[in-house]
Amino acid sequence: MIINWANEARLDLREILSFIYDKNPQAADNLEYQIFEAIEQLVEHPYLYRVGAVAATREIVVHPNYLVVYRVAIDHIEILNVLHARQQYPNNT
């Protein structure tokens, strides 16, 4: 399966890593590695991770503080969001 990133997910990831990098570059590098390692598993095992809070999504708990939200489609996997666990998700406002 092909992995596609939604623009919002790319921006989410960039912002999170930039914020962490300013405080601890090694922690940012480690988190980035963990995220991409987890996502790579989706190619062979798209249903490996838990059912998501939003219908038709799944969630990877990459680290106790960070989630990757994705959707499995017929011919690809779409990464929808990368979130800090404290963010309100789904956004019901």
**pLDDT tens-place values along the chain, 93 residues long:** 899 999 999 999 999 999 999 999 999 999 999 999 999 999 999 999 999 999 999 999 998 899 999 999 999 999 999 998 777 666 643
Domain annotation covers residue 89 = no
- For residue 34, count other CB atoms closer than 10 A to its CB: 15
Q: What is the CATH number of the domain that holds 77?
A: 3.30.2310.20
Whether the model clears a pTM of 0.75, i.e. scores above it, the answer is yes
Pairing of strands 76-84, 2-5: parallel
Give phi and psi for 25, each to the nearest 5. Answer: -55, -40
Domain membership of residue 69 as a residue range: 2-84
Radius of gyration of the chain (CA): 13
Domain annotation covers residue 93 = no
Q: d(Cα 46, Cα 53) in Å, to the nearest integer?
A: 17
Domain annotation covers residue 20 = yes
Query: Which H helix or E strand runs over 62?
Result: strand 58-63
Res 26: pLDDT: 98
Instruction: Give the count of domains, the chain.
Output: 1
